[in-house]
Structure 1
Amino acid sequence: MSRPAAAVNRVIKAYDVRGLVGEEIDEEFVADVGGAFARLVRDEARPGASDGRERDDAGRVSRVVIGYDMRGSSPSLAAAFAEGVVAQGLNVTRIGLASTDQLYFASGLLDCPGAMFTASHNPATYNGIKLCRAGAKPVGKDTGLTTISDEVIHGVPGFDGAPGTIEDRDVLADYGAFLRSLVDISGLRPLRVAVDAGNGMGGHTTPAVLGVLAPITLLPLFFELDGSFPNHEANPLDPANLVDLQRHVVDTGADIGLAFDGDADRCFVVDELGHPVSPSAVTALVAARELGREIGATVIHNLITSRAVPELIAERGGTAVRSRVGHSYIKALMAESGAIFGGEHSAHYYFRDFWGADSGMLAALHVLAALGEQNRPLSELMADYQRYEGSGEINFTVADAPGCVDAVLKFYGSRIQSMDHLDGVTVDLGDGTWFNLRTSNTEPLLRLNVEARSAEGVAAVVDDVAAQIAALSEKAT
């Protein structure tokens, strides 16, 4: 059946499929997406890329792996997608409840495409699909989602051959063992680890990955899987959603706190004092560890991570490569450059040894290993990687984003030392002070990130930029 283009394009976005359940996304819709995805990957031959278990004699894909999160709508949507896939002649392996990085693991392990049903940190009324090719390679707008949306709009063609089959496979223990094999945890001292799963998939994966480590005492918070998110949003990027973990760390005397988002592919860290640790500092720490085992390797960082990240990479003998914001850009650069690691300000961490995909749990293992192999508290350890003060991401709702950017640049004028337009505009004001302004692709927002050597320096730039945006907005009204 054909569908209105506007309705389809509203749900099939640049990086994934996401929409309101029952209004924008339902079983019939995702069955069509499943069929279109199967057609996309079915004829993509990669001869010699696997042992043939998941491919036919010509090397073509013959299987898709499917996982889903704890949202109430996820099982039925995943089942409908599976029916769409098998109707196109491909087999399906269902891994059931999973984190997104667990699905990536299954895609890498089985060398087959995958589909993860999740809306990540979005409210309970939403759901969606993250799609990948074999080996966890991302599927985005320019690498397949446009083809899928076109077929869903015009009607997915039928398949004349025999339908595929569906099987179930539990990969949770294998996923945990694989992650632990990538990090040297042999010198781990006893640690009390507080974990806020936010009622998301971290409550499913944390016991399987960390709970089996004898030196670790888990102090769980909101591990009950509940897609209605009864305690707080599963979005640790919002400081309001870290408050419970911060209190839990202090109350329990934990050595460290970890917070995962809804599909548990991002991990945020809190130190023993209850203070949040910058994802840039985590990026720097993991980069240092990875460069310690492969001197001279390449490390990716996006353009709004702290300047401390490329500084440290250079000091450790690595090559820093700067990227636009967004997982599709990071993953493309990971593949192109052979980078050993990549990190983003949003707490997405990418690993070459994890098929170039992101895993918050693997990043958490690195932080735990770094903490547990020495005796300093986490606050002192992370001070080695925190060289500057940052604003975090500040959003302004604006009607004229380009006009606001022009007003800010005009205000700073000759004080600008250098400037580039890799993603929005990044302005260097000298003496360690810089800011980035970029527009949102999906909302009428202008996003600001500022870094300086002092909190006062950050506040001064934030105040100046906010004043220019406010003045232009007042003039417009």
Structure 2
Amino acid sequence: MKAVIMAGGKGTRLQPLTKLLPKPMLKLLDRPTMEYIVELLAKYGFDDITITVCYLADAIRNYFGDGRAWGVQIRYQDEPVPLGTAGGIRALHEHLDQTFIVMSGDGLTDFDLSEAMQSHRRSRALATLVLTQVACPLGYGVVEFDANANITRFEEKPDVWDRDRSYFVNTGIYILEPEILHFVPPDRPYDFGRELFPALLRKGIPLNGHVATGYWSDVGTLQQYYQTQIDMINGCVHVNLPVEVAVH
């Protein structure tokens, strides 16, 4: 099965840590953040992986190589000009000829990807958005859906929120059919959450929301970078930990 890992961002909110390393290569405990993503994909059978790279791309290439060490095949797509999340995926349209998953290289999760895939196949939608529940939606895309898991509304990074309720947010993990790329313009940057998914809803094209259980951290700020590692040490996330801190 095919997967795309987006790893081209500069990680400006994580400076000064990202001045010499791209964000996906920052270590969570003893290994780069993106290594946990590659391991998760391999665990669930996604063994054909394309990594989109831009900022300090050689650091990623030199570490992961062809992916053989993780039991996968890795190829790289250079993005010299930022194309947005959807635009960067569209550039791969000739390779993405079957259902595929998109993940970010700078987050940490232990979601069961097989459950997400089953939800996608049941829905027969062009896209399944993997969602998680949070108390504070600031900085995230809020998603609303009906009793049949059909997405009804997006609100990208709301400015205000109700402290007495929780929200379902977009984790940036998508399971997509190749046909969805036909809706992405080829000549300009284009974003999944801000542009493509709302446009599909306006056209009446069904989108599926899958609420995943498990741990998810968007390692986007210095505070979250360190909190994620504390969570790992405390056993909040099921990943391969160094023996010195492994939870037994």
TM-score (norm 2): 0.38
- Higher strand residue share: 2
TM-score (norm 1): 0.24
